[in-house]
Amino acid sequence: MKKVSLVLIIAMLVTVIAACSSNSNSPGSNQPSNEPGTASPNPSADPVTLKIVYKDEGTANPVSVKFFETLEKALKEDEGLNVKFELVDLAQGSYAENLNLLLLGGTIPDIIYFQGGDQQISEQGLLEDLTPYIEQSKYVKDIIEPHNATRMASYPYLLWIKPLASKTPVVRADWLNAMDSSKALLADPTIDNYYAFFKELVEKKPGGDKPGYALTAAGDIAEINFIFNSAFGLDTTWLKKEDGTYEYSKVSQNEKEKLAFYNKLYNEGLLDPQFITKQWDTKEDAFYKGDAAVITGTAGKIIDLYDGRMKELNGDGANLVVLPPAKGVAQGFGATDVTKESRGLAISSQSKHKDAAFQVFDYLASPKGQMLDRLGFENEHYTVADGQIELNDKYYSEWYARFWEPLEMKSETPLKTPLLGEPGTSSLQAAADFYTEDNNFIIPEQYIANWDAMNNLYKEYATDFITGKKNLSEFDKFVEAWNAAGGTDITKYANENIK
């Protein structure tokens, strides 16, 4: 009997241990099954397949394919992690919309890059809380920036370790130098001086028959707002009125004045008449071809990429110059949202390989991982000579970090050349010089549907005001419609919760 009992007990223990092991990494589990980086799949076993969907990183991009193939080899050699990345391609068009269609259709990759639209997915429990993974990480916890920590504390589903970088406007140096109005603009970038600069660009056409217009954007006015919002006093999401209460900036008189200015630019042919239908690629193409003189780009590496491509197509004299934000009621590139990451990488709560997915994140935060992510491929984007890394022109014109860019890069080999060129460096400095925090908040779940409808209402009215389909005398009608769509309730909530 004792032998039978002992066998029975052992069998029960084996069953329990097996069940616990199975459940520790089951879909929807909120805890990692082991400390990231401390336990890995057997490198000699079949690889773990990690599906990843990431804007611009599809199978049609040979650099992306090579990056993830190189990352697979590095993970196996350095971490003993045997993974195979499967890049998920999306259709052309709006990335956020196409991604939501993919996710809501039931295809949920292990690693997901979001650029909007993540909140409704996280509220369905489809995104993993990354807090315990970060706490147990080897490397990620040491490169988190203060603003990352603030955002993760309130919304722990997206990770995006990058410098604080607003969008900054740029123009070709040769065109800037050819304008009489450029000195006044750089010395005192008032709204009027910006207007005069735009007007002279279109009238003088320094590119022969170009530019056709001074300014373009991708799909809406959000990018243009980085230049002008603060000048019109739109320097926070919620504006404090004289009576001490708050109103939403987009229904304020300041907004009306700004839209009147944009309407003026549109009517005089200074703003791209097709800005509403432009995508990011057609916007950039218009800039490189000279159809547009000024665009905005994310400060830092993206500005360097613009600079490299512009010089490649138009010569070294077409190097880019970062323009200052317009000055008026205030000056800046807009307040920075610290409630949550506006974009970033997430891990699906439904993934069967969450630990492996985060171990990828953690490796890319290590010195060896940073070498690949930040510098590209040896002998293609950089060379090592005399114990130093020297970056080449291809690095500056092509390479960008797909994952993490902490302010301080810890490299096992010292850098001889800087990570950023002059335009990228000056754009980051400008963004830092004008940094302020926003007073917005994460919209409560009960208001989200209304909030989306209210924002769509604003976009519709704003576009019609700018293009002249609606007269700005109807702005009060828009405010009434916005309040009726939920604005009254959300404004009450704001006044009760903004400290």
Please give the Cα distance from 436 to 235 (Å, whole number). 9
* pLDDT tens string 464-490: 999 999 999 999 999 999 999 999 999
Distance CA 299, CA 321 (A): 12
Instruction: Name the region of 284 (left: φ>0; alpha: ψ -120 to 50; beta: rest).
Output: alpha
Give 124: exposed, middle or buried? Use CB within 10 Å, 0-12, 13-18, 19+. Answer: exposed
Per cent of the chain over pLDDT 90 is 77
Q: How many residues does the chain have?
A: 499
Q: Please, what are the domains in the chain?
A: 27-163+341-378 (3.40.190.10), 167-335+439-497 (3.40.190.10)
Supply 424's token pair.
């990228």
Could you give the CA distance from residue 326 to residue 328 in angstroms, rounded to a whole number? Answer: 7
Q: Residue 32 above 90 pLDDT?
A: no
pLDDT in tens, 275-300: 999 998 999 999 999 999 999 999 99
Closest CA to 261 of 305, 341, 179, 195: 195
Mean pLDDT, residues 294-318 = 94
Q: How far is CA 57 from CA 47, 112, 358, in A?
A: 21, 11, 19
pTM of the model: 0.76
For residue 242, give both structure tokens.
């004289």
Residue 356 has what pLDDT?
Answer: 97
Closest to 488 measured CA to CA, from 454, 462, 458, 465: 454
Please, which pLDDT band fits residue 374 given cuts at 50, 70 and 90?
A: very high
DSSP conformation class of 352: S
Residues 24-33 have a mean pLDDT of 39
- Which of 22-36, 234-248, 315-329, 362-376 has the lowest average pLDDT? 22-36
Angstrom distance (rounded) from CA 311 to CA 156? 40
| Mean pLDDT of the chain, nearest integer | 90
* Tens digits of residue pLDDT in 96-122: 889 989 998 888 999 999 998 898 899
pLDDT in tens, 137-157: 999 999 998 889 999 999 999
pLDDT in tens, 450-459: 999 999 999 9
> Do residues 261 and 191 make contact, with C-beta atoms less than 8 angstroms apart?
yes
The amino acid sitting at 217 is A
Cβ contact 307:395 at 8 Å:
no
pLDDT value for 2:
38
Q: Is residue 351's pLDDT more than 90? A: yes
**C-alpha dihedral (362, 363, 369, 374), degrees to nearest 10:** -30
186-231: per-residue pLDDT in tens? 999 999 999 999 999 999 999 999 999 999 999 889 999 999 999 9
CA-to-CA dists, residue 442 to 338, 340, 438, 494, angstroms: 10, 8, 12, 11
Count the neighbouring beta carbons within 10 Å of the beta carbon of residue 331.
Answer: 16
DSSP-derived pairing of the beta strands 246-248 and 83-87: unpaired
Q: At 94, is the pLDDT very low, low, confident or very high (cuts 50, 70, 90)?
A: confident
Residue 22: per-residue pLDDT: 37
